């Protein structure tokens, strides 16, 4: 393998590793927001119920004006 070919392989792997690192970082940083949005769509049926239920039962009724 020539020096130029080795450089291209190394460069390609480093770019792939950097992109994977960026994608995992975004997933790590955005996952709490996704959980909060999911919890807000699943409002409690009464005040005695827990405010978070998993798996969520998606309801938008509490968002409507009464």
Q: Read off the pLDDT of each residue in 28-42 and give the average, rounded to a whole number.
A: 82
Burial of residue 41 (CB within 10 Å: 0-12, 13-18, 19+) is middle
pLDDT of residue 19: 97
pLDDT of residue 64: 64
Q: Read off the pLDDT of each residue in 16-41 and give the average, rounded to a whole number.
A: 89
Question: For the chain, first and last CA: distance in Å?
Answer: 72
pLDDT of residue 57: 65
Q: What is the pTM of this model?
A: 0.54
All structural domains of the chain with their residue ranges: 3-63
pLDDT in tens, 38-56: 777 766 666 555 556 666 6
CA angle, corner 14, sides to 23 and 26, nearest 5?
10
């Amino acid at each position: 393998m020539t020096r130029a070919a080795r450089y291209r392989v190394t460069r390609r792997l480093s770019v792939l590793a950097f992109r994977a690192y960026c994608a995992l970082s975004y997933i790590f940083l955005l996952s709490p927001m996704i959980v909060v949005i999911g919890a807000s769509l699943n409002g409690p049926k009464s005040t005695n119920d827990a405010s978070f239920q998993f798996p969520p039962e998606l309801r938008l009724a509490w968002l409507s004006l009464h």
